[in-house]
Structure 1
Amino acid sequence: MISDLFKRLDRRFKVLLFSIGLQTWSSGLSAQYNQLYATALGANPVELGSLESVGGVVSSAFSAPAGYFIDRFGVKQMLLLGLFFSALVALIYGCALNWWMLIPAIILTRISMLLIMPLTDIIIIGVTSSGRRALAMSFSRVIWAIPALFAPYFAATVVSIFGGISVEGIRPLYFIQLAASLVASILVLVMLEPLPIQKTFSHHTSLTSGLIRGYRDLLRSERWLKHWLVALAVMRLGGISAPFIPLWIVQVKGADQQLLGLMGTLSVLAQILLQIPVGSLADRIGRKKVFLILRPMLYAGTLMLIWAPNHAVLALAGIFGAIGLMGPGGLSGIGGISFIPFITMYWESFPAEKRGMVQGISGLLDFIGSLASLLGGFLWSMGYMEIVLILPLLTDLLILVPIFMSIPEGLRRT
């Protein structure tokens, strides 16, 4: 099955497997240390939440024009912009001397997140047949996860060599990330053939009037878009806990960089083993059923993370996955695989020529993650740490799941 799938892959898919895999691996090196790095530079919990909030607000403002630029200049050009921003983020982090110097990096991080993976998924969906689409999405995640499997321990080794969890111990990770991001950018620039540009905006009008008219028509024509926006907004609420989970693991549960690395490694390993079977299953029995099978694992892992009486349970939480453990979307461990049928069904709900616009309007929801991060900072500083960790679980269970189940499956398998 895997060899047959690889032979059938479009060349553009293969280029993305390598280039985005390299970028994902390099970003994963520092993912568990960004908040620790900021606190080591002097940021307190409220300031840490404020950093995330500022980044989210700016990326939300950038999102709507981004949909216009994707439509006008094409997916490849905007993907390159995202990779360039990722390299710039690594440079800023590596050179930072105070926590406030991280503000532009936080902003650019959120903008690059808005561009890199969604645009990569748009290309994958666009060059893959509907009957193999979830499998192809899962296959891409497995290929990217294999090097990421070694990223936490590689990062932990680098941090240990340079002095442990401190500014000087973490800083070298960002220069490694910088080099890898530049290589990924060159690969995309030279080797990726662009998708055809399918224009939906009128470029004879001004940017502002074109945006207003384009997004107004989009909301009117796509009945289920509002449902999807609510579901995505709930996922953004994972931002309330994401900045603080490394602090919880290290400062409250007493873990060191080795255990932090073990949790990340086990999380990635679980996904490597199960992504492809899950993707194949989603193509056979449906996206919704597979989502419902896997999502409870994420809830169980989150509860383990909160309760964890010892380091063994923390490691088990890494396997199950926990909301916010590897980012705001709950993408860690077995439970995190539920994102594959979710995002595949999401992109399939819209025609190919509107997917850039859809990404633009959905990116506006970043402000919700910003507010969540700010709220999380205040709650954390007041001592309500467990509430910060449990709130994303409750909103996911009570709002996201019912909304997702109300959306028809297979609206547009093209």
Structure 2
Amino acid sequence: MYLADRSAPSPADTGTPPDRGSLRTPAVTSAVLALGTVSLITDVSSEMVTAVLPLYLIAGLGLSPLGFGALDGLYNGVSALVQLTGGHLADRVRNHKLIAGIGYGLSALCKPLLLFAHSLGPISVILALERTGKGLRTAPRDAMISLSTPAELQGRAFGVHRAMDTTGALLGPLAAFLVLSMAVDGYDAVFGVSACVAVLGVVVLVLFVPSGGGAAVPPRPADGGGAARPDPVRLRDAMALLRLPRLRALALCAVMLGLTTVSDAFVYLLLQRRTGIGEQWFPLLPLGTAAVFLLLAVPAGALADRIGRRTVFLTGHALLLAGYGLLLWAPDWPPLPYLVLALHGMFYAATDGVLPAAVAATVPGRLRATGLALVGTGQALARFGCSLAFGAAWSLWGTGPALAAAAAGLLCCAAVAGLVLRPAAPEDGPVLPEPDPDPEPDPDPERDPERDPAPDPKPVRPSV
């Protein structure tokens, strides 16, 4: 699916049979709220660590910007590689909650290990394992959100989930700031509290998230009256998704834009150096991004459902480019940190939930987690490469030229994405259909299809 400038897809786009009762389905299901609560709690835990990690590694352990870029890339790149495994496993075993639970559990297990790691090597291994857990859970979680929500409301549903997730991202740095200000061994105290909160998130997942993910679409009945058992998902089915031109377009644009998206940690470090913010206030910088994200995630998702995901998605990257411009060329005036953080948060509100909502409408339900993982993996690997390249450019050229190169690349990639993500023409073809075990025979086998077309042809499935 292209991020077309039109409203959300019809039920046919996702294989959902039309049902008048679905119009009365609530915009936010209980599964979305439960998953949002789990993400909120888990993000409090994760962002407590993320908020202090750059300062801990660079100021505490003396890591160079290039070394931090490599570690930050590892921190995000490992989860990208594991996303494909998590997505395929979730579709194959048909138990998205199980795979997501394993991912949340592994991340929670790694948090207390940071208490015993005080050198770069052990910290790198622990962070890699923690990101493995994130990679396992991301695609199954997003699949549960999309499968439990009508297609025309998925932008709003992802917006609600991202808003709850961002509430945790808002509370995490605040908790880290409070712990650092009160505890003697500040960093160890942050890691210990983070571990306890992570365990709570796993408990909420086990107790309150429906085992089936709250899927709103019932199984298609077979001719005999029972539920048709779907074919098992195989690896070649997952690879067949790459033949979908619309999914390839989304993956290509996610990779291109990811290659020019400077990581959050670098943005906060650049902002601190540009404005002279004290080290004690550094953990609070993510709060500005998270607060704006929290306020705008739901409106941005609803707007994308209404006016088109392409427009909202590209606007988000334009806002990020404006933030880079302020860091590069704006004068040193008091509102500068607030403006940069506001633009950073608006970028995430316009892209973080819109992209998975677009991907979810391109693939059938039985391969939903795999399709989400394909695009998410490409984007995360691209950001891994950007972290390495930006860290090297910072070390070689300095902050100004490195950020200017990233801004120029983002401008070019956004222009190309605007062309690639144009609305699809009907002749581009429908999305990959669900397998049909009992296709309807031609009612008139003597009919010449070239001179006498079928009386009731199936309509071409519209693009989203």
Q: TM-score, normalised by structure 1?
A: 0.81
Specify the code of the residue in structure 1 equivalent to 2:362.
S
Q: Deviation digits for residues 51-98 of structure 1, max 9, x if unmatched? A: 234455544553443333122232111111221222133223332111
Counterpart residue number, 1:334: 346
In the superposition, relative to structure 1, how do residues 391 and 225 fare at CA in structure 2: closer, same or farther (>3 Å)?
farther
Structure with greater helix share of residues: 1
In the superposition, relative to structure 1, how do residues 281 and 50 fare at CA in structure 2: closer, same or farther (>3 Å)?
closer
Please state how far the C-alpha of 1:160 moved relative to its aligned partner.
2.4
Q: Does 1:129 align with 2:143?
A: no
Q: Does 1:118 align with 2:131?
A: no
Q: Confirm or deny: 8 A CA contact 2:86 2:139 kept in the other structure.
A: no
Q: Does 1:347 align with 2:370?
A: no
Q: Does 1:229 align with 2:243?
A: no
Counterpart residue number, 1:255: 277
Structure 1: runs of 5 or more not aligned: 203-209, 322-332
Distance 2:35 2:423 in 1: 27
1:355-366 equivalences under 5 Å are 355-365=368-378, 366=380
Q: Confirm or deny: 8 A CA contact 1:282 1:290 kept in the other structure.
A: yes
Q: Confirm or deny: 8 A CA contact 1:124 1:137 kept in the other structure.
A: yes
Counterpart residue number, 1:193: 210
Distance 2:35 2:383 in 1: 28
Counterpart residue number, 1:62: 82
In the superposition, relative to structure 1, how do residues 397 and 89 fare at CA in structure 2: closer, same or farther (>3 Å)?
farther
Counterpart residue number, 1:22: 41
Please state how far the C-alpha of 1:15 moved relative to its aligned partner.
1.4
Specify the code of the residue in structure 2 equivalent to 1:139.
V
Q: Does 1:295 align with 2:298?
A: no
In the superposition, relative to structure 1, how do residues 385 and 347 fare at CA in structure 2: closer, same or farther (>3 Å)?
same
Distance 2:316 2:77 in 1: 31
Counterpart residue number, 1:286: 308
Secondary structure of the corresponding residue to residue 194 of structure 1: coil
Distance 2:255 2:114 in 1: 28
In the superposition, relative to structure 1, how do residues 391 and 87 fare at CA in structure 2: closer, same or farther (>3 Å)?
farther
- Between the aligned residues of both structures, percent identity stands at 21
Please state how far the C-alpha of 1:119 moved relative to its aligned partner.
2.8
Structure 2: runs of 5 or more not aligned: 1-22, 220-228, 425-429, 432-462
Distance 1:147 1:311 in 2: 27
Secondary structure of the corresponding residue to residue 273 of structure 1: helix
Distance 1:214 1:291 in 2: 29
Q: Does 1:88 align with 2:109?
A: yes
Q: Deviation digits for residues 229-248 of structure 1, max 9, x if unmatched? A: 21221243256544433332
1:12-411 equivalences under 5 Å are 12-39=31-58, 40-55=60-75, 58-73=78-93, 74-162=95-183, 168-195=185-212, 211=235, 213-220=236-243, 222-237=244-259, 240-251=262-273, 253-257=275-279, 259-307=281-329, 309-321=332-344, 333-339=345-351, 340-365=353-378, 366-400=380-414, 402-403=416-417, 405-407=419-421
Distance 1:299 1:289 in 2: 15
Kindly report the root-mean-square deviation, in angstroms, between the aligned alpha carbons of the 2 structures.
Answer: 3.2
Secondary structure of the corresponding residue to residue 277 of structure 2: coil
Q: Confirm or deny: 8 A CA contact 1:12 1:193 kept in the other structure.
A: yes
Specify the code of the residue in structure 1 equivalent to 2:57.
A
Distance 1:341 1:26 in 2: 25
Q: Confirm or deny: 8 A CA contact 1:15 1:188 kept in the other structure.
A: yes
Please state how far the C-alpha of 1:7 moved relative to its aligned partner.
5.9
Q: Confirm or deny: 8 A CA contact 1:24 1:144 kept in the other structure.
A: yes
Distance 2:117 2:381 in 1: 25
Whichever of the two has the greater Rg, that structure is 2
In the superposition, relative to structure 1, how do residues 117 and 400 fare at CA in structure 2: closer, same or farther (>3 Å)?
farther
Q: Confirm or deny: 8 A CA contact 1:79 1:115 kept in the other structure.
A: yes
Please state how far the C-alpha of 1:348 moved relative to its aligned partner.
1.5
Structure of higher RCO (CA pairs closer than 8 Å, 6+ residues apart): 2
Number of residue pairs matched by the alignment: 387
Q: Deviation digits for residues 247-280 of structure 1, max 9, x if unmatched? A: 3233454212454355332322223333333222
Q: Confirm or deny: 8 A CA contact 1:200 1:214 kept in the other structure.
A: no
Distance 2:326 2:389 in 1: 23
Distance 1:356 1:199 in 2: 16
